[in-house]
Amino acid sequence: MCCACPVTSTLDNPYNALPANWASDAELLAGLTVDDDDEHDDPVLRYADGRTVETWREDYPYPERLTRAEYEYLKRPLQIELVKLQNWVKDTGQRIVLVFEGRDAAAHGYPILLSNLLAGLEGTAYVARGAVNSAVNVNRTRKMINQALRTQLAGRGFSFVEILTMCPTGWFVPTAEGPGYLDRVLRPVHATGELKHGDRCITSEQLLVEARARAE
């Protein structure tokens, strides 16, 4: 969701929040562009005049608390989106799971290693797990996706690529620490690499052993 404001020299919105009529403002929507030239950085949303749209804040925790008026003003469009989601879920009969307190292994069980499960099934020809927390890993993951597509197009069987990405908000860590957190916490459990390729089929534990051997 973008906190887009009317593109004028003087912003009418004092909090740079989402205008109430943003979805129906064709001129505003038509002027927004996405700057995605840098493959190593997140895309940037820009106004028609080139200014960056403040889609989110990276300096959490914030030095000052919002006033009640600011809080209510910013909360309103988010509440609208939640109501729209609620109506869609009811209308389509969907089922969703929301865990606001995070995952607790004692209560929810341990992570499911989906790639490992698929690699052990007959009919899967290529299974890999990549990451996007560094330029090297992005390049490796790109090669995995290309191999998966080639394998499936050749009719050898089902292909699956799992990609580890960063979620500093959900992890409650500063954005800059996201790549390191993924390496320290996620990858020891969700080891990256090719789990199944042709006649080769290995486990996450074997991937970790191979990674340690390469590091030495």
Is residue 82 domain-shared with residue 122, that is, in the same domain?
no
Residue 13 domain-assigned (yes or no): no
Q: In the Cβ-directed half-sphere of 93, how many Cα atoms lie within 13 Å?
A: 0
Is residue 157 domain-shared with residue 73, that is, in the same domain?
no
Strand 33-35 vs strand 124-131: parallel, antiparallel, or unpaired? unpaired
CA distances from 203 to 34, 120, 216 (A): 39, 9, 20
Domain end among 92, 123, 142:
92
Is residue 32 domain-shared with residue 78, that is, in the same domain?
yes
Q: What is the mean pLDDT of the chain?
A: 77
Residue 1 domain-assigned (yes or no): no
Is residue 82 domain-shared with residue 143, that is, in the same domain?
no
pLDDT digits (tens, 9 = 90+) for 9-38: 344 444 444 455 666 677 877 887 888 776
Residue 4 clears pLDDT 50, i.e. is over it: no
Is residue 132 domain-shared with residue 167, that is, in the same domain?
yes
pLDDT digits (tens, 9 = 90+) for 101-133: 566 666 667 778 889 889 988 889 999 999 999
Domain end among 61, 92, 123:
92
What's residue 51's pLDDT? 76
What's residue 131's pLDDT? 92
Is residue 36 domain-shared with residue 71, that is, in the same domain?
yes
* Residue of 119, 121, 201, 199 whose CA lies nearest to 162: 119
Phi, psi for residue 128 in degrees, rounded to 5: -145, 160
Residue numbers of the domain that contains 84: 22-92
Residue 8 domain-assigned (yes or no): no
Residue 189 domain-assigned (yes or no): yes
Is residue 127 domain-shared with residue 76, that is, in the same domain?
no
Is residue 84 domain-shared with residue 127, that is, in the same domain?
no
Residue 60 clears pLDDT 60, i.e. is over it: no
Residue 202 clears pLDDT 90, i.e. is over it: no
Residue with the larger pLDDT of the pair 58 and 152: 152
Is residue 116 domain-shared with residue 211, that is, in the same domain?
yes
Is residue 179 domain-shared with residue 207, that is, in the same domain?
yes
Residue with the larger pLDDT of the pair 194 and 85: 194
Residue 59 domain-assigned (yes or no): yes
Residue 160 domain-assigned (yes or no): yes
Domain count, the chain: 2
Domain end among 63, 92, 121:
92
Residue 7 domain-assigned (yes or no): no
Is residue 190 domain-shared with residue 161, that is, in the same domain?
yes
Beta bridge partners of 129: 162, 193
Is residue 143 domain-shared with residue 206, that is, in the same domain?
yes
CA 92 to chain centre: 25
pLDDT digits (tens, 9 = 90+) for 124-166: 999 999 999 988 999 999 999 999 999 989 999 999 999 999 8
**Amino acid symbol at 21:** N
Residue pair 40/138 in contact (Cβ under 8 Å)? The answer is yes
Q: What is the three-class DSSP state of 160? A: strand
Residue 119 domain-assigned (yes or no): yes
